[in-house]
């Protein structure tokens, strides 16, 4: 097949030279000139391993499989030849109208965010790769904004107590944030509605904060589900109490296909210590803090609130490397010796396919 890569919408690139080198065994690779530059992968690194550097138009005309991180533009989709394949992340759970929009094109589309989160999917799971980086980076962002130390220090000029960090949502991003905050020497507490994560939180050296009576749906594919009003009120009260003592709060709580739950109200922020920092990784889903502004950093009564759902893009070199490796592993089940083999018996192919030859293949989650 001819695989095409365009310049993406942020500094990452969908395929890196190491992965391109492996793919050239069975595929021809066309890369838009400068596509990897912001991630520090120069055009020459791609040509060295056998790729062809070309204009975006040439890539779209040649490619019969386009790989992107962010969804390609409608203009790009129109330029692709009939029966081409597109791999990206279209967020159909949050943006269901995308299914009809994409059905206008005679294409087959895979949306990596739809991949079932099973053990077999782990090496293809772009959500996990990116969430883990975002969790790490969230702590670094918080440390940069924080007007104080993270670790406990005993100096000749006096003692510094460790920073108190509260992590809301202990999924992939939250667990990496716990590990990073611990490495920097903070005292960490974490909260999640899924009791299954308690042991993971504790094994990383953080305290697990629990509100009794959470709804945990075994059929939700491991994802969290919406909680009752009564639970939400008790949860907000406990978070308000913990927030007043925290120096840093990192929020990562997402609900698939729904607005992110508000865990930190305006009043809770008003009771936080001046100088404290909130990093809201759920910003694109509406935010876990009522005051979050997506893609913006604001100050509210001395509290810095960072709203950013793709902090991984600030580390484009490794984010591209991991994304590319996930795509390489996905291509191993999507192609055989260079030929496309769409096998819907494979639950990963079936789950990730959004459009098959112009027809919706989207299964609305329960």
| Number of CB atoms found within 10 A of residue 281's CB | 34
CB of 133 to ligand NAD, least distance (A): 12
Q: Looking at 128, 276, 304, 320, which residue binds ligand NAD (CB under 6 A)?
A: 128
Q: Which of 362, 359, 360, 342 is nearest to 351 (CA)?
A: 362
Q: How far apart are CA 286 and CA 7, in angstroms?
A: 28
Which of 121, 163, 165, 277 touches ligand NAD (CB under 6 A)?
Answer: 121
How far CA 10 is from CA of 22, 48, 56, 69, 302, in Å, comes to: 25, 24, 16, 9, 30
Task: Give the orientation angle of helix 126-145 with respect to helix 172-183, to 10 degrees.
Answer: 40
Catalytic residue, candidates 117, 183, 198, 256: 117
* Pairing outcome for strands 248-251 and 164-168: parallel
**Pick 80 or 250: Cβ nearer ligand NAD:** 250
Q: Which of 60-68, 76-84, 186-194, 352-360 is the region at the interface with ligand NAD (rule: CB under 6 A)?
A: 186-194
178 binds ligand NAD (CB under 6 A): no
Q: Which is nearer to ligand NAD, 69 or 255 (CB)?
A: 255
Secondary structure of residue 301 in the 3-state scheme: coil
Nearer to ligand NAD, 174 or 287 (CB): 174
User: Is 359 noted as a catalytic residue in this protein?
Assistant: no
Write down the catalytic residue from 83, 122, 233, 299: 122
From candidates 192, 247, 280, 312, binder to ligand NAD by CB under 6 A: 192
- Cβ count within 10 A of residue 348: 21
Is 231 strand, coil or helix?
A: helix
Taking the least distance from each CB to ligand NAD, the nearer of 257 and 358 is 257
Question: For the chain, how many helices (H) and strands (E)?
Answer: 12, 19
Contact segment (CB under 6 A) with ligand NAD among 6-14, 82-90, 162-170, 317-325 equals: 162-170
Among 105, 223, 231, 300, the one annotated catalytic: 223
H-assigned helices in 188-291: 198-203, 229-243, 266-270
168 binds ligand NAD (CB under 6 A): yes
Restricted to residues 243-262, the positions that interact with ligand NAD (CB under 6 A) are 252-255, 261
Find out whether 200 and 346 touch, Cβ atoms under 8 Å: no
- Phi, psi for 136 (deg, rounded to 5): -60, -50
Report the nearest approach of ligand NAD to the CB of residue 310 (Å): 13
Q: Does 125 bind ligand NAD (CB under 6 A)?
A: yes
**Which range touches ligand NAD (CB under 6 A), out of 90-98, 149-157, 172-180, 301-309?**
172-180
Catalytic-labelled residue, pool 125, 192, 247, 308: 125
Q: Please say whether the dihedral angle defined by the alpha carbons of residues 116, 117, 122 and 128, taken in this order, is positive or negative.
A: positive
CB within 8 Å of 39: residues ≥ 6 apart: 11, 12, 13, 16, 316, 317, 319, 320
Q: What string of H, E and C letters represents the secondary structure of 68-135?
A: CCCCCCHHHHHHCCCCCEEEECCCCCCCCHHHHHHCCCCCEEEEHHHCCCCHHHHHHCHHHHHHHHHH
Closest contact distance (angstroms) between CB of 233 and ligand NAD is 12
Under rule CB under 6 A, residue 231 binds ligand NAD? no
Site for ligand NAD (CB under 6 A): which residue of 17, 36, 169, 285? 169
Q: Does 131 bind ligand NAD (CB under 6 A)?
A: yes
The catalytic position among 88, 89, 128, 284 is 128
Give the residue at shortest CB distance from ligand NAD: 171
Residues that bind ligand NAD (CB under 6 A): 117-119, 121-122, 125, 127-128, 131, 168-174, 191-194, 197, 222-224, 227, 252-255, 261, 263
Enumerate the active-site residues: 117, 122, 125, 128, 223
């Amino acid at each position: 097949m001819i695989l095409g890569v365009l310049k993406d919408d942020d500094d990452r690139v969908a395929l890196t030279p190491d992965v391109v080198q492996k793919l050239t065994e069975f595929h021809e690779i066309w890369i838009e000139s400068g596509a990897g530059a912001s991630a520090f992968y120069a055009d020459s690194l791609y040509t060295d391993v056998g790729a062809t550097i070309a204009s975006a138009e040439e890539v779209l005309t040649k490619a019969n499989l386009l790989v992107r991180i962010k969804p390609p533009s409608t203009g790009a989709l129109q330029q692709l030849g009939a029966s081409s394949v597109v791999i990206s992340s279209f967020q159909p759970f949050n943006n269901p109208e995308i299914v009809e929009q994409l059905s206008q094109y005679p294409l087959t589309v895979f949306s990596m965010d739809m991949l079932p989160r099973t053990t077999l999917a782990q090496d293809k799971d772009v959500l996990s790769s990116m969430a883990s980086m975002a969790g790490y980076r969230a702590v670094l962002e918080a440390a940069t904004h924080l007007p104080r130390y993270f670790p406990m220090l005993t100096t000749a000029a006096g003692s510094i107590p460790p920073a108190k960090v509260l992590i809301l949502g202990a999924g992939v991003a939250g667990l990496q944030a716990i590990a990073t905050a611990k490495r920097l020497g903070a005292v960490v507490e974490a909260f999640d509605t899924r009791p299954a994560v308690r042991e993971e939180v504790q094994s990383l050296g953080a305290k697990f904060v629990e509100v009794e009576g959470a709804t945990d749906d075994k059929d939700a594919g491991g994802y969290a589900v919406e909680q009752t009003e009564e639970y939400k009120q008790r949860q907000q009260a406990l978070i308000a109490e913990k927030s007043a003592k925290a120096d840093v709060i990192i929020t990562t709580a997402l609900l698939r296909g729904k607005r992110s739950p508000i865990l930190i109200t305006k009043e809770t922020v008003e009771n936080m210590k001046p100088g404290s920092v909130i990093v809201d990784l759920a910003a694109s889903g509406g935010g876990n803090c009522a005051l979050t502004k997506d893609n913006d950093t604001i100050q509210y009564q001395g509290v810095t609130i960072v709203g950013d759902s793709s902090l991984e893009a600030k580390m484009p070199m490794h984010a591209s490397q991991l994304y590319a490796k996930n795509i390489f592993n996905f291509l191993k089940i999507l192609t055989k010796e260079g030929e496309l083999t769409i096998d819907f018996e494979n639950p990963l192919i079936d789950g990730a396919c959004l459009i098959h030859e112009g027809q919706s293949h989207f299964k609305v989650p329960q």
